[in-house]
Amino acid sequence: MYCIQCEHTIRAPKGNGCSYQRGMCGKTAEISDLQDMLVRLLQSVSMYAKAARSVGVVDDEVDGYVPQGFFATLTNVNFDAARIIAFSRRAVALRDRLRSRYLAACAEQGVTPQVLPLAADYELPEERAAILSQAGRVALNADKASIGEDALGLRLLCLYGLKGAAAYMEHARVLGQTDVEVYARFHDFMAYLGEDPGEIDALFKCAMDIGHLNYRIMEMLDEGGTKTFGHPEPTRVNLKAVKGKAILVSGHDMHDLELILQQTEGRGINVYTNGEMLPAHAYPELKKYPHLVGNYGTAWQNQQKEFANFPGAIVMTSNCLIDPNVGQYGDRIYTRSIVGWPGVQHIEGSDFSVAIDKALALQGFAADEPAHYTTTGFARNALMQAAPAVIDQVKAGNIKHFFLIGGCDGDKMERSYYKELAQSVPQDSLILTLACGKFRFNSLEFGDINGIPRLLDVGQCNDAYSAIQLALALADAFGCGVNELPLSLVLSWFEQKAIVILLTLLALGIKDIRVGPTAPGFLTPNLVGILNQQFGLKLITSPEQDLKDMLAA
């Protein structure tokens, strides 16, 4: 086992990366090795997808499947060995079909087939034990001794960033957004990384190119969300329980939430969001359901306590899932799509009856709790509508600084930094926030500046796209570049979606971003130094020191 993809990873001096019998997230060595095998097979599919495009063969099923399968290997997504092997078998079947189509098209067009790397024809043994016996061969650090730590770290930056992009592609696909050009670029990167490249300059370029690709993917996702559910509107959301039967919907997939809302209509069940699903309350086509009553719980690392106390059914539509057996709610949590935990019931298709029946059988909340609200929904359209008023307030000297404080949450003590920072920024500052890191401070009162709320919850992690649009609009209004704005970005990272958003911001040329709580384990001190030199990327220090530096800049 070797995995170093998230912020939880086991670090030096104990070892660099989770590499023993179990990762910090609970992923076993077996699951980790099976996921490495899946990644290799998906790369082999992409090698054929790339070659096939050269003779005009595009397979939509392959294009949809490769990012989906890749998503299953993100942190806290799928821990179920049987499902991961099934993902691998499907990858092999799709690749073999594509290879036949490619060779047939070459023969028909009189083209000599390309000589692909040996990895393009990687085979999957029948037996699980035989698959696992190849773990050393497919390990992501297998060639570390020959290429060196910097090249490996950069390759992992690309691979993990591409995982994040794949997750967003899958979210976009679910909302009806696909783009053959995006799939073509994605296969290019998958195929390239499947050849285990080790050239530093080429890998740096690859990382920036993945960042650019992800900007387009976030645009697609924005389009998918707004076309399907309308533009988010600033909306107050109750964070407390309401008397009655209950279903909790977590993860990022708003299409699943809509299906659950439709299927629970008139059934006497209240629906709650959790974690990254909170911004769903702001979409007109979702907020119209009166039984979408509020948000229950906070960020993913608190779910074992919060889900244990939730007296209803729970549906996990995407990351982040952690061991449900700890809180003993494994019999009332359901997984969807790429998510999996052994023994937890998985819902395929669009019928949520099993979760609805479970919610009806459970007691639900016995009484209303006193309401307490947060406001969400300051996504692209709402921000653009507010932009003229914001610009006026800047010109009048009432708004002097913008902070983007957002990203993933986690359980490290150091993450209290983000709450302290949000609470200590000057009163003439606006704070934009997004993703699950906001639960550290989104229930606090920040007031307003002449009617403009000081805390603006932009949405999920992918809604970084909206925040970028506001920054571009402000830069345009003031006739300067984004880097000249009084704007400071302070990001918290945990998993691979955050990595690709960081790559996108760097690729767009945004400088002086602060990241924490720690540097990714796969980035060597040398690589962190290069990112600091080229982009001014910094690690967080203390709220006081960073605030002083940001305001001085």
Residue listed under structure tokens 């899946």: 38
- Is residue 320 a known part of a binding site? yes
Binder of residue 461, out of ligand SF4, ligand FS2, none (CB less than 5 to 8 A by kind) = ligand FS2
25 annotated to bind ligand? yes
Q: Closer CB to ligand FS2, residue 158 or residue 435?
A: 435
Other CB atoms within a 10 A radius of the CB of residue 178 amount to: 15
Q: Is there a contact between 242 and 270 (Cβ–Cβ < 8 Å)?
A: yes
- The CB-of-11 to ligand SF4 minimum distance in angstroms stands at 10
**Contact call for residue 269 and ligand SF4 (CB under 6 A):** no
516 touches 475 (CB < 8 A): no
Is 24 near ligand SF4 (CB under 6 A)? yes
Where do contacts with ligand FS2 occur on this chain (CB under 6 A)? Answer: 275-276, 300, 319-320, 408, 435-436, 460-461, 494-495, 497
Select 75 or 335, whichever has its Cβ closest to ligand SF4: 75
For residues 65 and 52, what is the distance between their CA atoms, to the nearest angstrom? 16
| Binding piece for ligand SF4, criterion CB under 6 A, among 22-30, 219-227, 319-327, 371-379 | 22-30
Shortest distance in whole angstroms from residue 217 CB to ligand FS2: 14
Closest distance to ligand FS2 from the beta carbon of 92 (Å): 28
Smallest separation (angstroms) from ligand SF4 to the CB of 529:
23
- 158 annotated ligand binder: no
* CA distances to 66, 168, 180, 273, 286 from 173, in Å: 12, 8, 12, 22, 19
CA separation for the pair 276, 439 (Å, rounded):
10
Give the nearer residue to ligand FS2 in terms of CB position, either 48 or 418. Answer: 418
CB 22 to ligand SF4: min, Å:
8
* Residue 232 backbone dihedrals phi, psi, to 5 degrees: -55, 140
Torsion sign (Cα): 333, 335, 341, 343 = positive
Please select the residue that binds ligand SF4; options are 44, 68, 73, 75, rule is CB under 6 A.
75
Is 106 one of the annotated binding-site residues? Answer: no
Any known ligand binding at 3?
yes
**CB 322 to ligand SF4: min, Å:** 10
DSSP labels, 171-223: HHHHTT---HHHHHHHHHHHHHHHT----HHHHHHHHHHHHHHHHHHHHHHHH
Q: Is 25 in the site for ligand SF4 (CB under 6 A)?
A: yes
Collapsed DSSP state (helix, strand, coil) of residue 81: helix
By CB under 6 A, is residue 156 in contact with ligand SF4? no
Cβ atoms 138, 40 nearer than 8 A: yes
- CB-CB contact of 355 with 247 (8 Å): yes
Report which of 318, 272, 2 is spatially closest to residue 159, judged by C-alpha positions: 2
Please pick, from the candidates 14, 15, 23, 359, the single residue that binds ligand SF4 as defined by CB under 6 A. 23
The DSSP call for residue 340 is B
Write down the least CB distance from residue 492 to ligand SF4, Å. 15
Instruction: Supply the DSSP string of 121-183, one letter for each residue.
Output: G----SSHHHHHTTHHHH-TTTTHHHH-HHHHHHHHHHHHHHHHHHHHHHHHHHTT---HHHH
Contacts of 227 (CB under 8 A, 6+ apart): 175, 176
**Contact call for residue 5 and ligand SF4 (CB under 6 A):** yes
Pick one of ligand SF4, ligand FS2, none as the site partner of residue 9 (Cβ within 5 to 8 A by kind): ligand SF4
Stretch that binds ligand SF4, among 2-10, 112-120, 182-190, 299-307 (CB under 6 A): 2-10
Contacted by 4, from ligand SF4, ligand FS2, none: CB < 5 to 8 Å by type: ligand SF4
Using the rule CB under 6 A, is 190 a contact of ligand SF4?
Answer: no
Give the binding site for ligand SF4 (CB under 6 A).
3-6, 8-9, 18, 23-25, 27, 32, 75
Residues contributing to the annotated binding site for [4Fe-4S] cluster: 3, 6, 18, 25
